[in-house]
Amino acid sequence: MDLTPGTELPAFVRTTGFANWNRYAAVNEEFIPIHMDDEAGKAAGFPSAIGMGNLAWSYAHIMMRRWMGPNGKIEKLAVQYQLPNLRESTITVHGKIAEVSKCAEGSRALVDIWVDDDADRKLVNGQATILIRSA
Amino acid sequence: MRGGLGRTIRKRTSFPISVSDIRKWAIAVYYPEEPPTEYLGAGAAGGDPPATAPEEFNPFAWATPGREPKNPDASAGFLERQAGITPPDVMFVVNGGTVCEYGVPMQEGDVITADFTLKSYTQKEGKRGPLLITETQDRWTNQRDELVRNAVMTYIRY
């Protein structure tokens, strides 16, 4: 695994809409009108229904799990939701290694995390701390 | 409202996490792809190794012991209503951010307890008028009193 600072993690891409959001609402008990109804989204000031921040949170975890494999552990994730995930937009979760330090268990990486959409809007910005245990 | 800050205002305990809960969560969040096979096995109940949940799994959805079945509160005042506090005069709520530290993973059979605290209120002016920024803290432990996760969430309400 390349832990060089500046290395980009494989991106995670999803085209999002009610098919994703309804499934997530069903498992997270998150039936909020702005996630289910364009009119409710418009009433709240958005152009459409919007996706759950919590689902983007899951997508960030998936991106990290795929990269780090079974020897990795997500120790911390901090994100700010900056813009809403609009219906039928394609969003991409990115990760880039910012810093790496050695520790007793292996290596600890700070990874910059961000989510953007196909209109080049940054939706989410954050940073993760990931422990990579020595094999 | 500020009287509710800093104290545990809601304590929840989950049912034991089932392999079916984990499987359904993984199917939903990986959609439209198939989730990894580690989330699709039979689990300990079916003779496989115990299933481990994805870090972000929610063991409290839909039902917890002693909770009366009712429609979820989708109003913008849901935080205070859970705590029995008069809610603020707000119409909408969006997720502003999360800071989460993870401890031990959640596994099939685990029973998770959450201490939910209202942490802070801040008022700001936004494009849509006054915003009420509310921070909550949700600390989860398992049946062995091991820390599972400690999350601070920010809600933006207007």
Using CA atoms, how far apart are residues B115 and B122, in angstroms rounded to an integer?
22
pLDDT value at B78 more than 90: no
For chain B, how many structural domains are there in total? 1
Per-residue pLDDT tens for B5-27?
A: 877 878 999 999 999 999 999 99
- Position B69 confidence tier, pLDDT thresholds 50, 70, 90: low
Query: Which residues from chain B sit within 8 angstroms of residue A108, using beta carbons?
Result: none
Whole-complex ipTM: 0.95
CB B56 to CB A61 under 8 A? yes
Q: Nearest-CA distance from B129 to chain A in Å?
A: 12
Reported as a pLDDT band with limits 50, 70 and 90, residue B1 is confident
pLDDT in tens, A43-76: 999 999 999 999 999 999 999 999 999 999 999 9
Amino acid letter, B145:
D
- Set out the domains of chain A in order of their start, with CATH numbers: 12-133 (3.10.129.10)
- Separation of alpha carbons A25 and A13, rounded Å: 20
**Smallest Cα–Cα separation from B140: which of B152, B131, B130?**
B152
Q: Which residue matches tokens 């994100």? A: A79
Residue B81's pLDDT band (cuts 50, 70, 90) = confident
Containing structural domain, residue B104: 2-157
Size (chain B), residues: 158
Contact yes or no for A75 and B101 at CB 8 A: yes
**For chain A (length 135 residues), average pLDDT per consecutive 10?**
96 97 96 94 94 96 97 98 96 98 97 98 98 93
Q: Is A3 exposed, middle or buried (0-12, 13-18, 19+ CB in 10 A)?
A: middle
What is residue B26's predicted lDDT score, i.e. its pLDDT?
Answer: 98
CATH number at residue B135: 3.10.129.10
Give the model's pLDDT for residue B153: 96
Question: Are A53 and B24 inside 8 Å of each other by CB?
Answer: no
* The pLDDT of residue A72: 98
* Residue in B90, B94, B148, B153 to test binding to A, most A beta-carbons within 10 Å: B94
User: Which amino acid makes up residue B138?
Assistant: D
